[in-house]
Structures are given as structure tokens and as C-alpha cells.
Amino acid sequence: MREKASLRGLWATGETGIAPPGEAGSDTRMVMEEPRTRIQRKNRETILEAALEVFSQHGFRGATLDMIAGAAGLSKPNLLYYFPSKEAIHVTLLSQLMDTWLDPLRELDAGGDPMQELRGYVRRKLELSRDFPRESRLFANEIVQGAPRMQEGLETDLKALVDEKAEVIRGWIAEGRIADVDPHHLIFSIWALTQHYADFDVQVRAVLGPSRDPLAEAEQFLDTLFTRLLAP
Amino acid sequence: MREKASLRGLWATGETGIAPPGEAGSDTRMVMEEPRTRIQRKNRETILEAALEVFSQHGFRGATLDMIAGAAGLSKPNLLYYFPSKEAIHVTLLSQLMDTWLDPLRELDAGGDPMQELRGYVRRKLELSRDFPRESRLFANEIVQGAPRMQEGLETDLKALVDEKAEVIRGWIAEGRIADVDPHHLIFSIWALTQHYADFDVQVRAVLGPSRDPLAEAEQFLDTLFTRLLAP
DNA sequence: TTGCTTTTTGACCAAACGGTCAAGACCACG
DNA sequence: CGTGGTCTTGACCGTTTGGTCAAAAAGCAA
């Protein structure tokens, strides 16, 4: 299950990093298909990977183009050949992230066994925290600071999906198959508890000391917690 | 219970914002008692209040001295008359915060009724999220970015207190007065769940829509959650 | 090879930033 | 009132930052 590196492979290529110049005259197509050359694909990947590292550690303003360029092994002007601005890199990262972040919730199946479905969701979400902590922190940074570049996505895509799944959960409760809890807050609690282990990693480790394995313990603890909370 | 404004009144005046110059010759006392004049007390307060607003919204690097000065209604050089640097303001804020943040846990009483004590802790922690969200976000910003200015405090003060209280909880479990859960992760779960409502406020509100009251609902939800988790 | 496009970079720029300083305004007290 | 300390600020400084540009290098198809 464990998987190193980033989610890049799974993502559609971003729409924000407007492709390089040099096509005004000769080509009249309206839609520009994604990164054309082998080099472009590779370098955009490299830049986004480096930017994820730097943005997740320092936040948007704390990150500098020089840091990203350094991490990517490219020159600063070269970054700006592939992305029109620092902000474009950041937005690309965020919009790709949004999709990935919601996938585990999308998998929640109204037809499955309620208890198993919800425990599965918790497990998948915790796996994201374990395997993609940088993505989690990138997201956390953005939200804590008021989500200046995401608010719309939250109020449309995210709300729609959550409302839909909340309705599913409400159905399970009505059928008496899980205990009666507010579905929205149930989902929040899953987010809060799982993401905590990625976002507040330093705190968790500082308190537990070096010899314990936070994520492994969390898996058990959270399974117990939600089992007791939801048992009918 | 609700209380506007900040925690300032409760705090000891910080030790980090080395007092203004102008005392080399005439006064030989070793210890300098805190802000001497009425004006100094007032302006240091004003600056810290403004800095809390700005730092919690933009993070350390995202905040500028001009923003803080603007929010405080003072000139930039005037800020630097009261604090030696931007970092000193930030550190003062953080060190004051640490104490306040741990107070609710300190109140956990080994002699009290376990269930009532733990539910009380959750309630107090949630009150902090409701009344002092900026403080919560200041803390979150710092931890998410690796706690560059707090790590020591986490590994000493915080760890010591948590370990102590974890032992208390372990005792309660041994006596069969609450269910068997890992005490450390129980505490983490309280932090995660309560702080989520302050730190991820925009997300919570975006999902719930404008007509619901997140914090009021959370109080009930969390009470239910921990009751079910801990019932022996 | 030639010739054209894509990619890379050193030099450069204007704005923003944290911080300094000397001079002036203000204030309290004899 | 005046005098000495406290407080305030406009002007300024060196550095960092996001971003530009023209020209060189590399890639590639014929």
C-alpha cells in the first residue's frame, strides 16, 4: 500500500500553468493540448514536485522562486519559462490536490455495509496522511490562511460532494444501521483526526518521543474510536 | 462565557521583546521590571494585538511590518522602538500563547470524576477555539511549518505535561472507570477535533453553509463522540 | 550539414522588505 | 516655565524578491 513520492502520476496535468509561448502565428487551433514535448512534460513535473516540497514547508509567501528553482535543479528564469508566475505554480498544485483529496470520500459507497464503508474511508484518509504528508500540509497552509485561492472550490465542488455523502449517511442512520450522529460533523471529525497526524506531525512526534510510530498507532486508535461512535 | 478580544490580560508580559533602550548608565539594577510607563504598556499591547491579527492570517513570512504597523495605527519605526525585530514580536506572541494553550489540560484533575473531567477538557478546549481562533491559527501556522520557533517548548514543557496527564488517564483506565484507549492518542484526538473548528473555519463554513452555527453544533457532537468512546 | 524551433541562462530591473538613524515632538516633573 | 527623558517619524539603506529580456545553447528534422 505504501507508496513513495507524489501523486503526480495520478493527476491530470494542470490547467493553470499556461503553456510556453511561441505559437501565436502559425497554429490556429483554439485548444492547446497539454505539454507537447518530452522535455516540457518532464520539467513541469520536476518543478511541481519541487514546489510541493517548498510550498508545503514554508507556505506561499515563505517560499521563494529561488528555493523552488534550487530544489528542482533549474534556474529561476527557467521556472518562469514553464509557469507564468509563482502564483501559477501554487494554483496548479492546489487544483490538482483538490481532486486527489476528495477521492477517498467519493469512494464511499451507499450500497456497501455502512460500518465497513466508514471505517474504510477513515483508513484511506489516514493512508493519505501517511503517504502524502506534504500534500496535506499544503492544503492545511492554504485553509488556515483563509483559503484565498481555494474558497470557490470549497463552496462548490467540496460542499456538493459532502452534502451528497451526508445524505447517504443520513439514510444509514434512518435505517438504524449506524448510531445517530450529525453526518457533516462526522465527516469533519474524520478529516480532523486523520489530517492531524500529517499536519501536526512535529507536535505529535515531540510528545510521543522518537520510539513510537504515530501513524501505526493512529490506525488502531481511530478504528476503535469510530467503531464505538457508530455502533448502533 | 463568551469573551471578545484577546487573552492579553491573562498573560504575563513577554520576556522576548527586550525593553526600549536608554538605561545603560544611571541604573545598575540587573533585572528590568516589565514595561515601565503607561504608554509603553499600552503600545506593546496594541502591537501584539495587531501582530496576532496579521500573523495568524498570513503566517510569519506572509506578514510584513507595514501590515502590523497599519493594523496597530503606529509607524513602522515605532514598532521597532518597542520590539527589536519582527521575529521578536512573533516569538513573544508564541511564548505567551504556549501557556494559555496548555491551561485547559493543566486543569484536568486526577481526583475528579474521569468522564466529567475529560468532557470538561473537551469543552474548555472548544471554548478556546470559539473565543480565540486567531491564537489557534497562529499556533497551527507554526506547527504546520515545522515549528521552527517552538520545537524546544514542545519537547520539554508540552511533552512533560502530556505525559503526566496521560498517566492520570492510564490510572482511570486501570480502575475501569473509562474505556481502554491510548491516553496520548486520546489527547491528540481532543486537540485535533477542537482546533479543527478554529483552524479550518473557512472550510467548515463553506461546507455547512451560512445558516448553521459550527461551534454550537460541535459542542454537542463532540460531547456525544467522547461519551461513546470513553463509556466503560 | 543547414536551418528552424525549443530550451536555458546571465544580467538586469523595480518593488517590497526589514531595519537604522538623527532629528523633532511630546510629556512629566521640579 | 524649562529641562531631561520618553516617544515618534520621515528619510534612507542594503537585501531579497518576483519577474523580464536578449542572446546563447541544445534539440531536431531535412
Q: For residue range B36-62, list pLDDT tens digits in order.
A: 788 889 999 999 999 999 999 999 999
Using an 8 Å CB-CB cutoff, list chain A residues near B158: 203, 206-207
Tell me the pLDDT tens digit for each residue of B55-109. 999 999 999 999 999 999 999 999 999 999 999 999 999 999 999 999 999 999 9
**Residue A35 pLDDT:** 57
Using an 8 Å CB-CB cutoff, list chain B residues near A199: 140, 143-144
Report residue A1 as a C-alpha cell: 500500500
pTM of the model: 0.89
Residue B27, CA: closest nucleotide via C1'?
D5
Assess whether pLDDT exceeds 70 at residue A11.
no
Say if residues A68 and A79 touch (Cβ distance below 8 Å): yes
Name the amino acid, one letter, at B56.
S
Residue A25, CA: closest nucleotide via C1'?
C5
Pairwise CB contact (< 8 Å): B159 & A207: yes
Which residues have a Cβ under 8 Å from the Cβ of A87 and sit 6 or more positions away?
A60, A149
Q: Of B120, B126, B154, whose CA–CA distance to B139 is shortest? A: B154
Task: Count Cβ neighbours within 10 Å for each residue of A101-140 and write b for 16 or more, e otherwise.
Answer: beebbeebeeeeebbebbbbbbbbbbbbbbbbbbbbbbbb
Of A59, A224, A225, the CB nearest to B61: A59
Tell me the pLDDT tens digit for each residue of A174-220. 999 999 999 999 999 999 999 999 999 999 999 999 999 999 999 99
Predicted complex ipTM? 0.89
What's A19's DSSP letter? -
Report residue B50 as a C-alpha cell: 495587531
Residue in chain B nearest A137 by alpha carbon: B144
Alpha-helix residue ranges (DSSP H) falling in chain A: 38-62, 65-72, 76-82, 86-106, 114-131, 133-144, 151-153, 159-174, 183-199, 201-208, 214-230
Residue with cell 492531524: A196
Distance C7 C1' – B166 CA (angstroms)? 59
Pairwise CB contact (< 8 Å): B228 & A224: no
Assess whether pLDDT exceeds 80 at residue A9.
no
Say if residues B89 and B48 touch (Cβ distance below 8 Å): yes
Report residue B2 as a C-alpha cell: 463568551
Pairwise CB contact (< 8 Å): A57 & B204: no
State how far the Cα of A125 lies from the Cα of A107, in Å rounded to an integer. Answer: 11
State how far the Cα of B110 lies from the Cα of A230, in Å rounded to an integer. Answer: 29
Using CA of residue A49, residue A54, residue A60, residue A64, what is the dihedral sign? Answer: negative
Say if residues B196 and A148 touch (Cβ distance below 8 Å): no
Residue that wins the pLDDT comparison between B24 and B86? B86
The DSSP code sequence of A20-86 is -S--TTT---SSPPS--SHHHHHHHHHHHHHHHHHHHHHHHHH--HHHHHHHHTS-HHHHHHHSSSH
